[in-house]
Amino acid sequence: MECHDRSFVIAVDLSFAGDDARFEAVDRTGTYAITEGYAAKCGYSVTVSPASGRAELRASYFSCHTDKRDDRAFAFRFNLLSRRDGDVVYGLNKTCVPSLKWSPREVSCELNYMEVSVDSGVSCAAGTKEDNRNVLRHAHGSSTSDWQVMFQRDEEQMEPMSLRDAEEQGYAFHLGGERLVFRTPYGQPDSFMAMVNGIPVEVVHATLVSRRRWSLIMVDLVATCSMHQGAYEDDGHVVFKTPEAPYPGPNVTRVGVSFDGGIFEDGGSGDVVTENDTVRIRIPLDAKGGLRKSFASGDLYEFYTFHVHLEQMFEDEDAETRLRLHRMLTTPLLPRPLFTQNRSVIEERLFQVYLGDVPQDVRLVLLRLNGREALYTNSCSVAAVAQPSRGHGYLLKVSFDDPAVTQRYQQVYGTVQYSLDINYTLSVLPENELYAYSVSVTALAGPSPPVLNAVCSESGISFDADHWAFDFLWSIGVGSDTLTPELAARRGYKMSNQSHKLQLDVPLHSRGFRYEEITLERFLGTFEILVKERQTGAVEKAVTKTCPFVTSELIVCSTDGRMTVVADLSRITPSGAAPSTSNLLDTFCGPAEADDTRALFSFPLNSCRSKVKLHRGHVIYQNEIFYSGSEDADERFESDDPGTGSVIFTKRPAAGIGTAALRGPVTTTRAAPTTAAAMRSSATPARKRLGSNPAVRYVRVSKHGKPHTDVKKGANGYGWQRGRNGIDF
């Protein structure tokens, strides 16, 4: 709430008060709602501007409900009513003492009314004769009923009427203080329009008359206000005109202009020109204090609003006149075209479209790509971009391979036409008025192989292609085979292939899987599919997925000639068995790993006495797992020193090339092995499959003392044969 030169100015933030905030004037006699009609009659002016987010109430110092203390100090009380949080009433008051000296005559051309005030000490005649002053002074004491008012329209003089009657017709008078005040809304029957230098003006001419015994007092109250609406010039200016003087004759002493309600700038700057008795104000669209607003109606428009405050001072022979004019100028709706720029990069297979010149009060709310709402992913994004001038922009990036992009194969050229119809839906704030803008982009590029995603599951590996375009161009290979429904059925792959979506589920252990890092807990399974150019069979890319799986039972022959077996021995042996004591046909070949129920063997195909057979074009390697089932864990080999050996060549190398001996008193049925690999097996004591010697359970190689052997016999005399628990594979 501020004291301006001739009015209280109250500004309210709409976000606080709400769009439907209302004001009430308050004085000793009561509370008065400031409605539109009441405001024009009583000297209030309310503007609500969503563009600036403000509501403004200006109350003339002579408004109906100000407390005019001798017309020197003015107090105003009012209520602000907000419905935002229920009906809330904010009571405010302020007292202003205008610092600007009152001119003998002041005319105010407000937005909704005209107001004239004259110093009650000024007589109608020239000079300041004491008599005249005293005569007019008695206006102080007189009641308004003593006065009458006569209006003049053009040259026509109306019948006088009482002030009471005039007030009923919408006029307002204030006669009791230092100044005589008269106010009228625009467009009253007693005012008239006229043209001054080609500019429309509204004129009101009231004459107050008081007849007292021998004296007749007449006070002329004239207001002439420019009704020029402002004109838009295509070079981006709004031009406002007002007559240099409201009537011919007076010397003009000053013209001041302000666009934002602030300090009046003296005319004379390039934008305020006085010519041919006309003051011409040119306002550039970006003038300080101007308000810009977007508007959507089919197309996108914008308009500008300027609050022009003009002050003119005239010097007459008898007195000075100050004229203040307040006008709100609005440009017509000006087209506000947006533009798009195609910044696509074919090498990156990327559509890039820039939408620019988007006004600050307009936001992108929805984006449709080829008719579908855009999904923002790795291959589709939109970002707001600041623009050095004129608003902001949006940069849309969509990969050619995004599902939203339409692809059309051009057989003749072997290229693909990628196209994207972009439909932007923009919203004008704060009303959320929607505006749609569309643009299409296309690009030619080679087809890209389909993108396949792979995921691990508990039971296998799944591959899928979301956007399986041009399947006539591409095929899928598993190794050297081409994936077809028949191949899938034969190998137990689950495949679905419809409406540009391909899904392939490969169950674990089905053909094509590779296995690595096998332990008792887990192993890695790998499956690879190849995307091939259908015509040439050239591999375009390989999609390889490796997943960890939990090991239960497993047998794998790897390409480098190794057999790896995880066998659950609990299924075939009595409980309490120790899989760690199992071995292959070759009793030196024990498990690499074992737990309570399972043993893991890993050995070259041709070792551990595997049997080899040929069968229908396959080489079959067969071995057996033997298992004593003994809980006795006494099978041990201990030696104080490492063994040594020497190589002796004989004439029949097949009979064996190596012998080795451990020095010291040793009793075993077999020579100790010489290779490091075999040393591990040596922990499992030798047991002969056939022969007269029973299995040796404990071998001790000692430097001193007696050799110690402990031979345990099975029920049938051969420990290894008990139960003959074997697994053939």
The residue from 330, 442, 702, 709 that contacts ligand NAG (CB under 6 A) is 442
The sign of the CA dihedral 379, 384, 386, 387 is positive
579 contact partners, CB below 8 Å, separation of at least 6: 569, 591, 594, 595, 596, 597, 598, 599, 627
Contact flag: residue 432 with ligand NAG (CB under 6 A)? no
Site membership for ligand NAG, residue 93 (CB under 6 A) = yes
Among 70, 130, 275, 517, binds ligand NAG (CB under 6 A): 275
Name the residue nearer to ligand NAG (CB basis): 510 or 639. 510
Contacts of ligand NAG in 208-237 (CB under 6 A)? none
The strand pair at 392-399 and 380-386 is best described as antiparallel
Look at the block and give the residue holding tokens 């011409």. Answer: 280
Using alpha carbons, list the distances in angstroms from residue 444 to 403, 406, 612. Answer: 17, 12, 60
Q: In whole angstroms, give the CA distance from residue 599 to residue 706.
A: 36
As a whole number of Å, the CA-based R_g of the chain is 52
3-state secondary structure of 39: helix
- Angstrom distance (rounded) from CA 632 to CA 609: 26
Closest by CA to 202, choosing from 189, 218, 216, 217, is 189
Minimum CB–partner distance for residue 40 and ligand NAG (Å): 26
Q: Considering the rule CB under 6 A, would residue 344 count as an interface residue with ligand NAG?
A: yes
CB closer to ligand NAG, 171 vs 493: 493
The correct pick among 134, 342, 459, 622 for binding ligand NAG (CB under 6 A) is: 342
The shares of helix, strand and coil residues in the chain, as percent rounded to the nearest 5, are 10, 50, 40
Considering the complex, state which of residue 536 and residue 552 has its C-beta at the smaller distance from ligand NAG.
Answer: 536
Q: Convert residues 523-562 into a mask of x (bound to ligand NAG by CB under 6 A) and - (unbound).
A: ----------------------------------------
Question: Beta 105-109 vs 415-428: how paired, if at all?
Answer: unpaired
Q: Which of residues 612-641 bind ligand NAG (CB under 6 A)?
A: none
Closer to ligand NAG by Cβ: residue 436 or 633: 436
Q: How far is the CB of 279 from ligand NAG (least distance, A)?
A: 11
Signed CA dihedral, 347, 352, 353, 355: sign only: negative
Which element (helix H / strand E) includes 253?
strand 251-258
Interface with ligand NAG, residue 250, by CB under 6 A: yes
Q: Which residues make beta-bridge pairs with 104? A: none
Query: Are residues 258 and 264 in contact, defined by beta-carbon separation less than 8 angstroms?
Result: yes
CA–CA separation, 43 and 57 (whole Å): 10
Residue type, 701: V
Minimum separation from the CB atom of position 42 to ligand NAG (A):
19
CB of 315 to ligand NAG, least distance (A): 5
Q: What is the pattern of x (binds ligand NAG, CB under 6 A) and - over residues 464-483?
A: -------xx---x------x
Are the C-beta atoms of 283 and 237 separated by less than 8 Å? yes
The CB-of-472 to ligand NAG minimum distance in angstroms stands at 6
Return the ∠ at Cα 555 (arms to 549 and 558), rounded to 5°.
90
What is the x/- site pattern for ligand NAG, positions 59-78, by CB under 6 A?
------------------x-
Q: How many other C-beta atoms lie within 10 A of the C-beta of residue 494? A: 14
DSSP state of 693: P
Query: 719: helix, coil or strand?
Result: helix
Beta strands at 658-661 and 644-647: parallel, antiparallel or unpaired: antiparallel
> Is 279 or 565 the residue whose CB approaches ligand NAG more closely?
279
**What is the maximum span of the chain, computed from C-alpha positions, in angstroms?**
167
β pairing state of 105-109 and 320-330: parallel
Write the interaction track for ligand NAG spanning residues 401-430; mark x where CB under 6 A is met and - where it is not. ----------------------x-x-----
**Shortest distance (Å) from residue 514 CB to ligand NAG:** 22
Stretch that binds ligand NAG, among 28-36, 387-395, 434-442, 555-563 (CB under 6 A): 434-442
Nearer to ligand NAG, 249 or 691 (CB): 249
Q: In the complex with ligand NAG, which residue's Cβ is closer, 6 or 280?
A: 280
Q: Spell out a b/e string for 89-108, using b for 16 or more CB atoms within 10 Å of the CB, else e.
A: eeeeeeebebeeebbbbbbb
Name which position in 346, 489, 539, 620 contacts ligand NAG (CB under 6 A): 346
* Pure H helices in 459-595: 485-491
Rounded least distance, CB 200 to ligand NAG, Å: 16
Provide, rounded to whole angstroms, the least separation between the CB of residue 203 and ligand NAG: 20
Kindly tell me which of 501 and 713 has the beta carbon lying closer to ligand NAG.
501
**Number of helices followed by number of strands (H, E) in the chain:** 6, 60
Question: What is the CB neighbour count within 10 angstroms for residue 529?
Answer: 23
Site string for ligand NAG, 352-391 (x = CB under 6 A): ----------------------------------------
298 vs 705, which CB is nearer to ligand NAG? 298
User: Which region, judged by CB under 6 A, interacts with ligand NAG, from 79-87, 153-161, 400-408, 436-444?
Assistant: 436-444
Residue 484, interface with ligand NAG (CB under 6 A)? yes
**Quick one: which of 153, 138, 432, 196 has its CA closest to 296?**
432
Is residue 543 within 8 Å of residue 483, measured between CB atoms? no
Q: What's the rounded Cα separation, in Å, for the pair 293 and 428? A: 9
Question: Among 249, 335, 337, 617, which residue sits at the site for ligand NAG (rule: CB under 6 A)?
Answer: 249
If we measure between CA atoms, which residue out of 335, 339, 302 comes closest to residue 424? 339
What one-letter code names the amino acid at 245? A
Give the interface size with ligand NAG as a residue count (CB under 6 A).
27
User: Which helix or strand (DSSP H or E) is residue 16 part of?
Assistant: helix 14-17
Q: How far is the CB of 300 from ligand NAG (least distance, A)?
A: 13
At closest approach, how far in Å is the CB of 549 from ligand NAG?
25
Does 253 bind ligand NAG (CB under 6 A)? Our answer is no
Q: Mask: binding to ligand NAG, 276-305, rule CB under 6 A, as x and -?
A: x-----------------------------
Nearer of residues 438 and 675 to ligand NAG, judged by Cβ? 438
Binding mask 306-325 for ligand NAG (x = CB under 6 A): ---------xxx--------
Least distance in Å: CB of 103 to ligand NAG?
15
List residues binding ligand NAG (CB under 6 A).
77, 91, 93, 249-251, 275-276, 315-317, 342, 344, 346, 423, 425, 436, 438, 441-443, 471-472, 476, 483-484, 497
